[in-house]
Amino acid sequence: MENTINEQTTTQVMTPAQFLEHYQGHRRLTRKIIEAFPEKEFFNYSIGGMRPFSEMAKELLAIAVPGLTEIVSGKTGEFDENRDYGNTKAEFLKKWDQDTEQINKLWKQLSIERFQEHVKLFGQYEGSVLSNIQYFVDNEIHHRGQGYVYLRALDIEPPFFYDRS
């Protein structure tokens, strides 16, 4: 088990476990933002012609598990940010939680050597596994930051940015 030995005995800037926790911490915060939206505004509210937060959440769901599944399996899949997760926040949150578990399972199948490997996700996004997963996380932070503005404009106090509990 060369991978495990490497990870445990050499100095890492960031271990795979820390990367997973970083991602899941951000996903926990995004979950709080979904919860913070009033039911109707989650699906309808927007500013400046942008998408409602439910549509952004669909994009995040279309990236996380499908993207990691591709990385782990090596099989190209379809990028589809228009999948139907229902018409209630509760249904989105249920899917979110299912994906949280799925991400943990997929992560266990990622050996440390894979992070520097070159991949092409969804038939188009080229880069290292590292840069692709960083993009998953960064894109989530980016859109969630937009959700914060929606909540503020709705006069709703959003959760603290540093709260990843």
Q: Least Å distance between CB 36 and a copy of itself?
A: 13
Of 27-66, binders to a copy of itself (CB under 8 A) are 47-50
The residue among 14, 31, 7 whose CA lies nearest residue 159 is 31
User: Binding segment for a copy of itself among 15-23, 60-68, 79-87, 96-104 (CB under 8 A)?
Assistant: 15-23
Confirm or reject binding of residue 4 to a copy of itself (CB under 8 A): no
Say if CB 141 and CB 25 are below 8 A apart: no
Q: Supply φ then ψ for residue 82, to 5 degrees.
A: -115, 20
Residue 157 burial (C-beta neighbours within 10 Å; 0-12, 13-18, 19+): exposed
Instruction: Tell me which residues touch a copy of itself (CB under 8 A).
Output: 3, 6, 10-16, 18-19, 22, 26, 47-50, 112-113, 115-116, 130-131, 134-135, 138-139, 141-146, 148-155, 161-162
